[in-house]
Structure 1
Amino acid sequence: MSNLLAIVLPTFGLIGLGFFAGKLKLLGDRAGDGLSDYVFLIAVPALIFRTLATGADADANPWGYWVAYFGGVAVVWSVGMWLAIRVFKRDRREAAIHGFACGQSNTVLVGVPLILQAYGDAGAVPLFLLLAIHLPIMMSVAALLIESSGAAGRPLEVAWRLAKTIVTHPIILALAAGVAAKSAGVVPTGAARSIVDQLAATASPCALVSMGLALKRYGILSDRVPVLTITALKLILHPFLVWVLAFYVLPVPPVWGGVAVLFAAMPSGINAYLVAARYKTGETTSSAAIAVSTALSVVTVSGWLWVLGIV
């Protein structure tokens, strides 16, 4: 648990920095909005492009592994949206944020160091195979769900607006550019690689500071029941489903299955708040869910490490 705390505490440090910067009026709401826009429009697309363009090729068939992980994502995302609409009476746009928070894992800040520490070099290949598609898929689905939820009008008009959104959306553009660069064997080098790397490196810290400012604005104790529901779906149901699929349903090697379970056991990722801030819906719930799930993950992830026989 001490190793997990060493990984989780820096996350809270950056969130706390943003929170107290807002409390002390060093940074205001406009700064938080500007930071979230910067991360969503520039830093995260740079991170997606770099991940896809420079990722390693798979040496093994990862389909069962991916199905096990994203099967769990599909279930908790659907359950989260259903509860948001039916129980918590939220509209479909905010329900998409609830579902996204249930399925989106904090990979860069918590997942990568923890999984590599747990499995060492044996876990590197499955970890980075999942990383290569996790963020692009999750962000793209979230954006499309929200855009389609707000669409109204004749079918052809709706289809045209959605198509226009897809071809101009920064996440979709980054996804397409990364896949194209990888397929063509064009890897950024020199000054171009340095620019992409530096932009990608700013995504997590800027997003966490922005979320700290949001917590100051919206509060961490508000919307408690939806926040605790999202936290339970993310920390308990998601890894449980992946564990069942990877170890008892699909032919996934044990180390690969363990990596998938730990990946699913991570707390809600910061991208849930970034999407919420971008579309101005669900900011209160998403920011609080990220903070609460990160705090409780110290206990739940330790439990999953025990289940997997690592501790």
Structure 2
Amino acid sequence: MAGLLDAMQGFAVIGIVIAVGYVAARMRVGGSQAQMVLNRMSFFVATPCLIFSILSRERLTTLLHPSIVVAFVAALTVGALFLLCNRLWFHLRAPDAAIGALGALYLNSNNIGLPVATYILGNPALVVPIVMMQWLIFMPAGLAALDATTRGTVSVRAMVLQPLRQPILIGSVLGVIVSAINARVGFDVVPAFVRDPIGMIGDAAVPMILMAFGMSLRGARPLGSRSGRAAALTVVALKNLVMPAVAFAMAYWAMGFRGPVLYACVVLAALPTGQNVYNYAASYNAGVAFSRDCILVSTIVSPLVIAGIALALG
């Protein structure tokens, strides 16, 4: 019960900030570009600073924790299951099927994952290995699949360079480097007058992310189109129900995790579909409405699932 109460308090914090963003959008505070500005500021400035601040103070064992195996196996499982469902029932075009697989396996590790890890799990560093796994493995693989199914060719150059254009990944790598140097020399090599402003900027990341997400909910109508509705609901079921179940089975029986580590593995697996999937869909003009429905519905369902996980495991 204590875990459920902690989770509910965490969701209350997250929900209030999201609601502020929604009300601000309804009142047109900041104008029509407010959501875009908040998203870009958080993505390009605040979140990289936050990730750097966290990782530069963490031990490298945080990134090498075996729990990343759980996240990897659970993601691959649900992605493969969607492709199997599509082959048997939905028969979506190949690019749309690729978007569906990404929707099932790609976690919203930034917009929702960071707040959940911060306010529910109590440690924002828990989500960092998932961030790096997705950007170093799943994102290049997803882009390769979309290249192959829409253009008929695979751009190796785009696959290699795309992660290097991600500021959060750059902040992660720099944080790891500083952490390794700190461990080697035995003290923090970043002076306080540099670290403090980076930390101040990073502290703004989560509020900006949540308010921007709240703004995006204004006028949203999930599953408005009948075409692809069954496929979208299947993605949501795989993402919000099957993936946490696979993560639990893998963590509990295969890895032998118990207590907080088991809880964190299952909660993070229940995160909704990442908004990057919509960006990829729009870039390749493949499954745009389909990806938007998956993201929105899985985001609505995710808190209920995480509350159930907290009640069972917290």
Smaller-chain TM-score bracket: 0.7 to 0.9
Aligned-partner Cα distance in 2 for 1:287–1:14: 22
Aligned residue for 1:208?
210
CA distance change for structure 1 residues 132 and 160 in 2, over 3 Å: closer, same or farther? closer
Change (3 A) 1:306 1:8: closer
Corresponding residue of 1:26 = 29
Task: Answer yes or no: is 1:69 the counterpart of 2:71.
Answer: yes
Distance 2:307 2:265 in 1: 15
Aligned-partner Cα distance in 2 for 1:283–1:14? 27
> Which position in structure 2 is the counterpart of 1:4?
7
In structure 2, the partner of 1:235 is 240
**Which segments of 5 or more consecutive residues in structure 1 lack a partner in the other structure?**
117-123
Structure 2 CA distance for partners of 1:279 and 1:29, relative to 1, 3 Å:
farther
Could you tell me which residue of structure 1 aligns to residue 180 of structure 2? Answer: 183
Which residue in 1 is equivalent to 2:272? Answer: 268
**Residue 119 (structure 1) aligns with:** none
Tell me the amino acid that sits aligned with residue 130 of structure 2.
H
- In the superposition, the TM-score normalised over structure 2's length comes to 0.73
C-alpha separation in 1, matches of 2:91 and 2:28: 37
Distance 1:283 1:153 in 2: 20
Aligned to 1:108: 114
Identity %: 19
Report the counterpart of residue 255 of structure 2 in structure 1.
250
Q: 1:284-303 residue pairs with structure 2 within 5 A?
A: 292-303=297-308
Cα deviation digits, residues 216-265 of structure 1 (max 9, x gap): 25434646655543432233211211111122223435553333223323
Distance 1:96 1:182 in 2: 35
Whether the aligned pair in 2 keeps the contact of 1:268 and 1:294 (CA below 8 Å) is: yes
**Contact 1:96–1:145 (CA under 8 A) maintained in structure 2:** no
Aligned match for 1:173, one of 170, 173, 195: 170
CA distance in 2, matches of 1:17, 1:283: 27
1:91 and 2:93 are equivalent in the alignment: no
SS of residue in 2 equivalent to 1:73: helix
Contact 2:277 2:291 (C-alpha < 8 Å) held by counterparts: no
Deviation at 1:93, TM superposition (A): 6.9
How many residues are treated as equivalent by the alignment? 293
Asked if residue 134 in structure 1 is aligned to residue 130 in structure 2, the reply is yes
Q: 1:274–1:50: structure 2 CA closer, same or farther, 3 Å change rule?
A: farther
1:140-159 equivalences under 5 Å are 140-148=136-144, 149-150=146-147, 152=151, 158-159=155-156
Range 198-207 or range 142-151, more displaced: 142-151
User: How far has the Cα of 1:293 moved from its partner?
Assistant: 4.1
How many Å separate the matches in 2 of 1:19 and 1:135? 26
TM-score normalised to the size of structure 1?
A: 0.74
User: Secondary structure of 2:121's match?
Assistant: helix
Name which of structure 1's ranges 251-260 and 230-239 shifts more when overlaid on structure 2: 251-260
| Structure 1 residues 263 and 243: alpha-carbon distance in aligned structure 2, compared to 1, 3 A threshold | same
Name the CA distance, whole Å, in 2 between partners of 1:180 and 1:111. 23
Query: Following the alignment from structure 1 to structure 2, what is the Cα–Cα distance between the partners of residues 275 and 39?
Result: 18
Specify the alignment match of 1:120 in structure 2. none
Equivalent AA in structure 1 for residue 23 of structure 2:
F
Q: Deviations over 1:77-127 (max 9, x none)?
A: 4445776895555536744651354574843322443335xxxxxxx7xx8
**CA–CA separation in structure 1 for the residues paired with 2:84 and 2:51:** 29
Contact 1:76–1:237 (CA<8 Å) still a contact in 2? yes
Of 233-242 and 68-77, the range deviating more from structure 2: 68-77
Report the RMSD for the aligned CA atoms in angstroms. Answer: 3.8
- SS state of the match for residue 115, structure 1? coil
